[in-house]
């Protein structure tokens, strides 16, 4: 990082907020392109797997292995967590690389009094707002389906945002570090898809072989699914949930530090 960039004082709060407003204005012009992925597809998953497949699962006597809940109640909170995760991945990969490599948005910002950390905070602020919207819309769907149990279920929305940020911050660092976009396609194949399938959203990970169960439990999405499920169904486990929150917060914190460092290297080095 250059000396000039490193020695800059913190940007005024108004400038940081104005940068956030820039990202909000851009998203308002493009949100329709991601509406199907972020909102419609999860609902279709819920209908097809929770209601359609769920009728066969429940009739087969599998409720005991699901903790005594219907399959719809089991799968719906997991789909909320995975929907937020997918939104976070989409917002923290190609758009970040584009702002560095193609349209040079970050380079224009760094030419102002903004520091790289200010840019990072503003961009993550918009991502958090998008994650909040995704979690809130999906939560309303769960209420309509009769899955959410109040009042604990209200906390599923901020829990979902935490799940998204636990993926967004390290992926922001990855996108800022990556030189070619082909790395994203590889990450989707060997990272996002297996994490989605083996997150515990569709079946208990205890049914997996021991090595796969251990690997699933290392991933932040598993902890997000468990946290959101307990809150949504009104069956929180305080000690376990504190562990999930701490683990997700660790991913957020480490990811933020790595993202700040990677972005500074690309813009100021």
Q: How many domains would you assign to the chain?
A: 1
Summarize pLDDT for 82-108 with one digit per residue, the tens. 999 999 998 899 989 988 988 888 888
| pTM for the model | 0.86
Residue 14 CB-density burial (10 A; 0-12 exposed, 13-18 middle, 19+ buried): exposed
Q: Residue 131 has what pLDDT?
A: 93
Quote the domain boundaries for residue 228.
Answer: 3-268
- Residue 209 region, left (φ>0) first, then alpha (ψ -120 to 50), else beta? beta
- Which of the four pLDDT bands, split at 50, 70 and 90, describes residue 255? very high
> CA 235, CA 211: separation in Å to the nearest integer?
28
162-177 tens-digit pLDDT: 999 999 999 999 999 9
Query: In the chain, how many H helices and how many E strands?
Result: 15, 0
How far is CA 80 from each of CA 59, 86, 117, 226, 252, rounded to the nearest angstrom? 24, 10, 30, 11, 19
């Amino acid at each position: 990082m250059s000396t000039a960039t490193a020695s800059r004082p913190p940007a005024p709060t108004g400038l940081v907020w104005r940068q956030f407003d820039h990202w909000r204005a851009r998203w308002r012009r493009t949100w329709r392109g991601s509406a199907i992925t972020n909102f419609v597809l999860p609902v279709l998953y819920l209908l097809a797997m929770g209601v359609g497949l769920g009728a066969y699962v429940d009739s087969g006597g599998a409720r005991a292995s699901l903790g005594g809940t219907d399959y719809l109640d089991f799968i719906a909170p997991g789909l909320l967590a995975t929907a937020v995760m997918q939104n976070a991945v989409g917002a923290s990969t190609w758009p970040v690389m584009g702002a560095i490599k193609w349209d040079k948005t970050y380079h224009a910002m760094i030419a102002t009094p903004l520091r790289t950390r200010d840019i990072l905070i503003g961009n993550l602020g918009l991502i958090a707002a998008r994650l909040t919207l995704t979690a809130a819309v999906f939560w309303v769907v769960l209420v309509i389906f009769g899955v959410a149990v109040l009042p604990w279920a209200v906390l599923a929305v901020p829990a979902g945002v935490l799940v998204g940020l636990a993926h967004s911050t390290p992926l922001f660092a990855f996108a800022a570090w990556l030189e070619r976009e082909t790395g994203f396609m590889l990450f989707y194949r060997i990272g996002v898809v297996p994490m989605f399938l083996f997150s515990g959203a569709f079946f208990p990970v205890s049914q997996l072989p021991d090595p796969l169960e251990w690997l699933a439990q290392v991933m932040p999405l598993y902890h997000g699914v468990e946290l959101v499920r307990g809150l949504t169904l009104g069956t929180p486990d305080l000690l376990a949930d504190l562990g999930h929150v701490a683990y997700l917060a660790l991913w957020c914190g480490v990811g933020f530090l790595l993202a700040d460092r990677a972005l500074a290297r690309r813009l100021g080095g």
